[in-house]
Structure 1
Amino acid sequence: MAQRTALIVYGHQSSGSFNAAVLDVAVQELTEQGYRVIVSDLYAMNFRASATRDDIIGDLKNSELFQYGEETMHAWMQGRLSDDIVAEQRKVEEAELVIFQFPMYWFSVPAIMKGWIDRVLTQGFAFSLEKIYDNGVFKDKKAMLSFTTGAIETMFRSDGINGDINVTLWPLQNGTLHFCGFEVLAPQIFWSPAHCPPTVRTTMLEGWRIRLKGLLEEKPLTFAPCELFDCSFQGGFMLWPKVREERELQPYGITTGHHLGKSVPPDNQTKAQPTNEK
């Protein structure tokens, strides 16, 4: 049987950080499971965050108006993307599992990791109009977020000062990972490790190690399937009227983003739902 590959996209500056310890646990545990583990250490690589003209080798399709998405799609089709992008795309192609390891900055990923997302997940390579969401390019791969917070957990509850963590995670998990077709596993959240005693941090790392042992057997998060929508320009990519009617009597919306003016389904972006729940 071919060896499985895991890619960890890592975004922290310090080798002495808790994020580094989390990374070490993942590399060790996945390697013990027989994975070939690839780590893209973005700061060590001095990975360039800015999406610019330099990402395209050779002439532009439209030299008068530079449109990054359009130009990188054509460059990808013609094998003219910069070497650093191509190297990362090859890693993604090889991996069955992609883990993003980072400290949460401003309710999102650090700039260097956002740059990886912007530059590596180019149109054509990671998505097309026909290949998005559950029909996406990476539908046979799994991905997940693993991150630390400065805030304590109660601050990210629906009645906490930062608001619901499920809402915070929606753009990354639905708008990036699920959009590209990944099966998205529940995030691994390390709440405020900088303010925890060493014993608690040790317990956090052990919990991560235990989870990694059964990670690929986990049920992924639930998202709204494309079949619920009229995926045409004429239909505006909106819910079919019949689907909306059927949801009127339900207590919750479909997902965190497709709330339909109702309560958001509990833990929609943080926990896999029971098999009988849509």
Structure 2
Amino acid sequence: MKVLIVFDHPRRDGFCGAVLDSFVAGLHAAGHQSEIADLRSEGFDPRLDPADEPDWDNPRKAYSPAVLAEQARIARHEALAFVFPVWWWSVPAATKGWIDRVWNNGWAYGDRKLAQRKALFLGVAASDAGQYAKRGYDSAMRTQLVTGIARYCGIDDAALELLHGALGAEGDRLAALERAKDLGRSF
């Protein structure tokens, strides 16, 4: 399977980058191909301007060259994965802006949906699983990302996986890296 991985962190050499590397290693071990869309290093502008604003009267609107290039990149893949730090119980602003700007009316939702078969949101979280469950953050994020974005855009096989304890003990971090690799192998 060809998988586009959207990576969003200001530092590629941090723990989120290590999670990305582990996930990619697992994908490759299972025989999948991958391409990384590193939003920060590629300089993707997440701001939605009028050229890329949805046109509810014209679902075949031609969007900006930058958006068309991202849509073409998505179209080359059968599945999507997102690797990101959990900030404010969601994805970082660059990822949200990429979705807002690229997954547009008439292309990802509306009368046409995304053709990808599978999506995984792989969030790196500082807090432990108990804290998320206690406050309902995990279920709120699952509703927002899996139901509200992926499934709304036609990807029924979508999931959220949270790797907890990113700021914790070395053992927690090593377990998170191994889990990321397992998720790649089982993707």
TM-score normalised over the length of structure 2 = 0.90
C-alpha distance in structure 1 between counterparts of 2:152 and 2:93, whole Å:
20
**170, 183, 187: which is aligned to 2:160?**
187
Deviation per residue, 1:141-170 (Å, 9 max, x gap): 10011011122211111xx2x335212320
Report percent identity of matched pairs: 26
Give the secondary-structure state (helix, strand or coil) at the position aligned to 2:40: helix
C-alpha distance in structure 2 between counterparts of 1:98 and 1:26, whole Å:
12
Counterparts of residues 80-119 of structure 1 (less than 5 Å): 80-119=62-101
C-alpha distance in structure 2 between counterparts of 1:52 and 1:70, whole Å:
12
C-alpha distance in structure 1 between counterparts of 2:142 and 2:186, whole Å:
23
Q: Which has the larger radius of gyration?
A: 1
Letter in 1 for 2:83: Q
- Larger strand proportion, structure 1 or 2? 2
Q: Which runs of 4+ in 1 moved over 6 A?
A: none
Q: For the Cα contact (< 8 Å) 2:75–2:115, is it kept in 1?
A: no
Task: Report the aligned-residue RMSD.
Answer: 2.0
**5, 16, 32: which is aligned to 1:8?**
5
**136, 141, 155: which is aligned to 2:131?**
155
C-alpha distance in structure 1 between counterparts of 2:17 and 2:116, whole Å:
28
Match of 1:267 in 2: none
TM-score normalised over the length of structure 1 = 0.62
Question: Deviation at 1:140?
Answer: 5.1
**163, 168, 180: which is aligned to 1:208?**
180
C-alpha distance in structure 2 between counterparts of 1:43 and 1:165, whole Å:
25
Letter in 2 for 1:174: T
Question: Deviation at 1:208?
Answer: 2.1
C-alpha distance in structure 1 between counterparts of 2:165 and 2:171, whole Å:
14
Letter in 2 for 1:145: F
**9, 21, 30: which is aligned to 1:24?**
21
Q: For the Cα contact (< 8 Å) 1:38–1:91, is it kept in 2?
A: no
Count of residues in Structure 1 that have an aligned counterpart in Structure 2: 187
Q: For the Cα contact (< 8 Å) 1:99–1:146, is it kept in 2?
A: yes
Match of 1:46 in 2: 43
5+ residue gaps, structure 2, are none
Question: Deviation at 1:110?
Answer: 0.7
C-alpha distance in structure 2 between counterparts of 1:172 and 1:204, whole Å:
21
**Larger RCO (CA under 8 A, 6+ residues apart):** 2
Give the secondary-structure state (helix, strand or coil) at the position aligned to 1:193: coil
Question: Deviation at 1:200?
Answer: 2.2
